[in-house]
Amino acid sequence: MDWISKFIDSYPVFLKGMLLTFQLTVVAILIGIVIGLFFAFLKISGVKILEWIADLYIFLVRGTPLVVQIFVFYYGLTAFNMSQFWAVVLGLAFHNGAYIAEIFRGAIQSIDKGQMEAGRSLGMTTGLTYRRIILPQALRRAMPPLGNQFIIAIKDSSLAAFIGMYELFNVATTYGSNSFDYMSYLLIVAVYYLILVFIFTMLVRFVEKRMSLSD
């Protein structure tokens, strides 16, 4: 009962934290999608040097902890007067971009080669065929892993707490240390994360359904 009253008392602050978590993640993923598409195209360009650049980027992202990446954006770019929000967003986007690049590359390469040949045989340029034929199909295929990546990003955004942003996790630890009752607030924040992830899972499922209607 005590836990429930803590939950009720703290909800305005947690909701604010949840909103911030949501904003961080959505903006980061949107930028990550742009980055991901760009590097996916480098990877399938067939130009060795461009492929190496994409490989290097993916290697750097995979080989270093996300928290380090976020700190680099925050402290490393002080010259640009980077706000906390944008440091976290860019850190998350930089990080997720690598995974999204691999998702897009896989999705594009999973489209039957015949689709490109059919487009080309009709006089379409490679670029036009990508835009009109390959990418629309690849995006559909990328939806499930992309949704998955988004869920990972929601949880990863908790690292923003380490540079002092009051997103969900920081709200929880602050309440925890002020009340000497970490456990209650960690369980509370877990509930908020579960709600966020649940809502988003439903959203992805809805979008997937809408897309598959036309197949």
Partner 1 sequence: MSSSVMVKVEKLNKSFGDLHVLKDIDITVKESDVVCLIGASGSGKSTILRCLNFLEIKDSGNIIIGGEKVEPGTHDINDIRARVGMVFQHFHLFPHMTVIENIVEAPMHVKKVPKEQAYQQAKELLKKVGLSDKENVYPGKLSGGQKQRVAIARALAMKPEVMLFDEPTSALDPELVGEVLTTMKELADEGMTMVVVTHEMGFAKEVADWVVYMHGGRIVEAGPPEEVFNNPKEQRTKEFLDSVL
Q: Which of 114, 164, 178, 209 binds partner 1 (CB under 8 A)?
A: 114
Q: Should residue 173 be labelled a site residue for partner 1 when binding is judged by CB under 8 A? A: no
Q: Should residue 6 be labelled a site residue for partner 1 when binding is judged by CB under 8 A? A: no
Instruction: Report, in Å, the least distance between residue 135 CB and partner 1.
Output: 10
**For the chain, how many helices (H) and strands (E)?**
9, 0
Residues in binding contact with partner 1, number by CB under 8 A:
19
In the chain, % helix, strand, coil (3-state, to 5) comes to 90, 0, 10
3-state secondary structure of 147: helix
Instruction: Report, in Å, the least distance between residue 32 CB and partner 1.
Output: 24
Distance CA 84, CA 161 (A): 10
Q: Should residue 115 be labelled a site residue for partner 1 when binding is judged by CB under 8 A? A: yes
Polymer length in residues for the chain? 215
State the CB neighbour count (10 A cutoff) for residue 160.
Answer: 29
Site for partner 1 in 138-157 (CB under 8 A): 140
Contact positions vs partner 1 (CB under 8 A): 112, 114-115, 117-118, 120-125, 128, 132-133, 136-137, 140, 214-215
